[in-house]
Amino acid sequence: MFFHKQELQYSSTPDQPDAVYARKLQEVLGGQYGEITVAMQYMFQAWNMHIPGKYRDLVFGIGAEEMGHVEMLATMIAQLLEKAPVGITKDAIQDDPTVAAIIGGTDVQHAIVAGAGARAVDSNGNPWQGSFITASGNLLADFMANANAEMQGRVQVARLYHMTDDAGVRDLLSFLLARDTMHQNQWLRAVEELKADGLEQLPVPSNFPQKKEHTAVSYQYLNFSDGQQAGDGSWAKGPTPDGNGEFSYHDGPTTTAPMPDVTRPDARMYGTTDVPNRVEKIAGSVQDKLKKE
């Protein structure tokens, strides 16, 4: 059940309208790492979770908060557009106001489609996609993805902070930055707790028997670049984070195999082949078989 309360978690008013910056904010609303993505990612993870208790409650709780962040950003975008000259500018360098708006860096669909409101798109107008969501059912894999999402989102919000001098906008962004700080720490701590509780370990999935891997290459750093300094890192020597092996460094592959013969799919795929008239030959053989039957 969802219940909407007409309050914001945090409210801020921009100093002045700015249709160009409204378009920039669309990235952290409807982009790959925007608030729509994290809100839906966490909700689907919770809906798909196979165990009740603290982890499911955690994911639901943060997901619900992120839905509120969607509303906060949509509200800010609408405020920035409220009195902005979307598509009509003074002394426009083009007589056509639509052209002037495009050159000015605004999203004309803010006006044409959304009536001076936010849209479920990124800063280039690309529609938000459900394929941005990671919800695998494996909690360690998902929580790692969540930490990454919060990191990428915080990077983008920090960049946006320096793209405006508007004190009201910066006030909102500073709040979102603070919540991203908290959520990064929550997901990383949840990863540690999952391991401590024995529910999941590295490598993910930890309940797949490693003996079924080609274990000889499980912990080899294979350098396929002409850069040599990667071998100086702790990922190329010493114990592995999962505690199951030791890293080793190798220039290039430690195994090779001959290339198999080229494949020859069904001739009715009509790929170029070195066997002429394959379709006709197949058809003829089928007809001959039917006649014999």
CB 82 within 8 A of CB 116: yes
> Higher-confidence residue: 104 or 220?
220
The answer to whether 246 is annotated as binding is no
CB 80 within 8 A of CB 114: no
The answer to whether 35 is annotated as binding is yes
The answer to whether 30 is annotated as binding is no
> Higher-confidence residue: 141 or 271?
141
| Side-chain-facing half-sphere of 84: CA atoms under 13 Å | 30
The answer to whether 50 is annotated as binding is no
The answer to whether 214 is annotated as binding is no
Fold adopted by 19-196: Ferritin (1.20.1260)
Q: Name every residue whose Cβ is closer than 8 Å to that of residue 149 and which is 6 or more positions away in sequence.
A: 33, 37, 38, 41, 134
From residue 232, alpha-carbon distances to 38, 217, 242, 271 in Å are 36, 19, 20, 47
pLDDT tens digits for 221-267? 999 999 889 999 999 999 999 999 999 999 999 999 999 998 888 88
- Burial class from Cβ neighbours inside 10 Å (0-12, 13-18, 19+) for residue 125 reads middle
The answer to whether 192 is annotated as binding is no
Residues of the chain with CATH 1.20.1260.10: 19-196
Average pLDDT, the chain: 91
From residue 241, alpha-carbon distances to 110, 169, 236 in Å are 48, 42, 12
The answer to whether 183 is annotated as binding is yes
pLDDT of residue 277: 65
pLDDT of residue 108: 86
pLDDT tens digits for 153-206? 999 999 999 999 999 999 999 999 999 999 999 999 999 999 999 999 999 999
Answer yes or no: pTM beyond 0.85.
yes
